[in-house]
Amino acid sequence: MDETICSVIRSAVSDANRYPFLFVGSGLSRRYMNSPNWVDLLEAVCSRAFGDTADFTKFRTKASVAYRNEKVKAELPYVATLMEDRVNDALLDDTDFMRAHAETIALGGSPMKQLVADIVNSYSLEDDAEVELLKSTGDSKLSGIITTNYDQMCERLFDSFTVYESQDDLLFAEQSFTREIYKIHGSVSNPDGMVLTDADYDEFGRKRKYLSAKLLSVFLEYPVIFLGYSIQDENIKSILSDIAECLSDETISRLKKRLIFVQWGNTTTIGDYTVSFGNKLISMTKIETDDFASIYESIGQTERLYSTKILQELRGSVFRLADKINPDSPVIVSGIDNALNSLTEDQRVIIGFAPSPASIGRPITPEDLFQDVILDDLHFDNLFIIENYLNRFVRQRPNNMPVFKYVQGLGRNVGKSVANYLPSLSSIDAFRNNTIRKSLNRTRAKHKGYLTVRGLVDNLGSSEAIKLIPYLNEDELDVDELEQLLRNELKTVEDNADEKKQLLKDTYFRKCIRIYDFLRYRNKEASDLLQ
């Protein structure tokens, strides 16, 4: 481990009294996944759509001329814009592509963005000691991740972190700033939300100041380490510019220790770097190195300090949380009271965790709730889930969360977002989109004779049955049969965390769980809330 790098990062953590955020760019994906840069990605799209790259050369030449003549703000988004219509037309005529993505395209998805997602998804994390070091460091010593990358590298590295998959998710979220990933340019898991073309960047730009305001707390209170970016990257400069506008010169000067820009270099050098935004200057520490392992090891060596006052507040929160947790859950609160009573407010202590039989918790994810509806394995108080998670998830994912299991016993004390959502769930038809409604009679006629859960499974198999469950009427849906189908599907992936996560993100599977949630947990009390 390089001691000069360690000193810089230790100083940043000590100054903020918080573990750092990583701001991750495409350079890190290229390092650990060998994935393409933006130019190569757009070229690959053209190659796949047209069979060669000649058209890409024409698109880029035209975009380059427009950019030099200041007719467009950025070159590569304009390349994507020029490509879009022709690529979409080519893909709509591509039998293999349409066979793979017919449902998505039928729902109005962009063929080109879906192809971008396919290409990005074709790359995987390499088996590398440096990758393992980053993963182990993040599990314990990172507050969160901000990234402009579409890929799922960060989710795979830090699978216990809560993921915000788009700018909109983040804007409406109540962040904890703890073990979170902010994908501000979108994700391959939702291709239509990716920021790619001129129009996407214009929309992103209209909301960027709101995003920057959301991120302001990160930059003010946490060390931020930039990895995988060029120091001239416009994405970084635009966000820093917005933040600079909000701060006094004195506040900006205090950020110098906490902002660390890491660039690849043949040798390790550490110096200052200053960016000008009108009459504002933001200074940061720049590390040039080929030794990224030292970066991760240095983060792993840091210790976060807490004031006595913060610990006292934390203790109260822990006890309030413990009151809501199932008594059978392995929660231990021990060993802090006597120490706190003997400390003054200006003293600082380090909190550590020693091995114990207790489980170390993590934030609840939407996937946890979908699984819990079927397996009933969370064992948390319903009000706790409603207040701390479900209302936020409903805002982030309109019309896409199970709710009935968690409103039991709460009357109208379910929070604004859930209360507003419930009236739309009065019948099975609420779980059908326009595509299903348009094809309802045709599809039911095609499968006449086995329009039950068991009938679909026996005649078509589980995977096809799951896709067709929304076409059944309520009197054709046996809730026990549906539960068995969903449990069996979860059982097939229970030993593979990645496959299980993907299943719980699957649109069809989620829709079936929401239908099951409606059938199983809708009761008189819940029905009253539908009015």
Residue 456: the pLDDT is: 93
Task: Check if the beta carbon of residue 489 is closer than 8 Å to that of residue 502.
Answer: no
Residue 432: the pLDDT is: 87
The CATH code for residues 3-35+125-300 is: 3.40.50
HSE (side-chain half, CA atoms, 13 Å) at 232: 0
Tens-digit pLDDT profile for residues 203-260? 888 887 778 877 888 888 889 999 988 877 777 788 888 888 878 888 888 888 889 9
Task: Check if the beta carbon of residue 63 is closer than 8 Å to that of residue 75.
Answer: yes
How far is Cα 289 from Cα 291, in angstroms, rounded to an integer? 5
In angstroms, the Cα distances linking 429 to 384, 457, 470 are: 30, 21, 8
Q: Please list the residue range(s) of the chain that carry CATH number 3.40.50.
A: 3-35+125-300
How far is Cα 115 from Cα 125, in angstroms, rounded to an integer? 20
Tens-digit pLDDT profile for residues 296-346? 888 888 876 555 455 555 555 554 454 444 544 444 444 444 455 555 555
How far is Cα 114 from Cα 189, in angstroms, rounded to an integer? 10
Structure tokens at 469: 């469950």
Low-confidence ranges of the chain (pLDDT < 70): 171-177, 304-363, 397-399, 411-413, 524-531
Using the 8-state DSSP alphabet, how is residue 25 labeled? -
Task: Check if the beta carbon of residue 386 is closer than 8 Å to that of residue 422.
Answer: no
